[in-house]
Amino acid sequence: MSRLAVAFLVTALVLGTVPASATDDVGEAARAGQWQLAALQLPEAWRSSRGEGVIVAVLDTGVNGRHPDLEGAVIQGPDLTGTAKGLWGRHGTAMASLIAGRGHGDEHKGGVIGVAPAAKVLSIRVTLENGDPLREQQRAGGRDALAKGIRYAVDHGAGVISMSLGGGSGAWEGSPAEEEAIQYAIARGAVLVASSGNDGGTANRKNFPAAYPGVMAVGAVDRELRVAAFSNRQDYLSVVAPGTEIVTADARDSYVVSDGTSSAAAMVAGVAALIKSAYPGMSPYHVRTAIELGTRRQPADGHSPAYGHGVADALLALREAARLDPPGAGLARPGPYFGDGPPPASRGPVVAGIVMLAAAMSARVLVRHRKRRRL
């Protein structure tokens, strides 16, 4: 199919005039528009892993599991927004398709295919669509939706948690409930991924949940692997991934094309699922390390606020995971809370206790202590 034909069909999809199941050409156009497949080296990566056995929780606006490209891929979780009405599922369906879309048609050659097409998606509704007039009402009444969603995801088997959203529970400062939920998730082996934000060209605000230590913050690049103007630039940025002209499934059983760090984060969550499938016992720290080491266009000094550690690459990340797979690498495994940001204030007493214990031991004083249970 010519580039002009693809452009014409994609335009029709954006306008919502053609459903996913209408013609084979629509499915072909959707697949042809997925430039990230080559950019992430996914065909090569799928020889090692396709995400089998991994559940990726999509904390978003809900997922349409009846979309032709998501049939059999979605586990419906709870709606934690406290607002049953309103717009439903457009953004969440788009993100789910980028993670675990299976395509459709003859040999699944049409439609959207995700980064980890054999993974399962656990849909947990924690926010409403942008532009939904009920969004402010949800913010006022459901401030702990994200924190509850993280805990629900972990308790129901999610190995990866994808959060293509910003502002946490409506506050740019984050919240203790969310921070504690993230610690809880990491301690139980879940990898958390979030979008860095889309106001990089203006306010460039610190964005939660991406800014929480232990969460992989993901920015966006274009087809030339250049950082998109809208992608937030922050010291805590982990990696960047494709985030412009991205074709995704839509809640109306059609497709849409959009830009944003949301798509980039969903793809990196898919890469994490590939690694978790190939190496089920790998810690969140090692999964993150593999993704960050397995990047292209790495900054000269190893990290930059624009690129993070570089452009994500599924094939290279899997190769790094093979090298890091414990215990062969001999890397020290950190505690359940890790990241580029400062540790939470609550760790102060723990550090002080360690110093006192060391002093007591040097004075040959025997001290009995209990093991502390961490969340």
Q: Which residues are catalytic?
A: 60, 91, 262
Task: Give the dihedral sign, CA 305/310/314/316.
Answer: negative
The neighbouring-strand residues paired with 308 are 304
Structure tokens at 239: 């990696």
For CA atoms 217, 73, 259, 138, give the dihedral sign. negative
- The span from the CA of 93 to the CA of 346, in Å, is 37
Length of the chain counted residue by residue: 375
Task: Show the beta-strand stretches assigned E in the chain.
Answer: 55-60, 74-79, 102-104, 110-113, 120-125, 160-163, 191-195, 216-221, 237-242, 246-249, 255-258, 295-296, 311-312
d(CA 306, CA 289): 18
Structure tokens at 296: 């292209």
Which of 241, 174, 244 is closest to 206 using CA atoms?
174
Rounded to whole angstroms, what are the CA distances from 264 to 28, 261, 327, 348?
Answer: 22, 5, 31, 35
Please report, as a single letter, which amino acid is at residue 102: R
Nearest to 287 by CA among 307, 301, 270, 311: 270
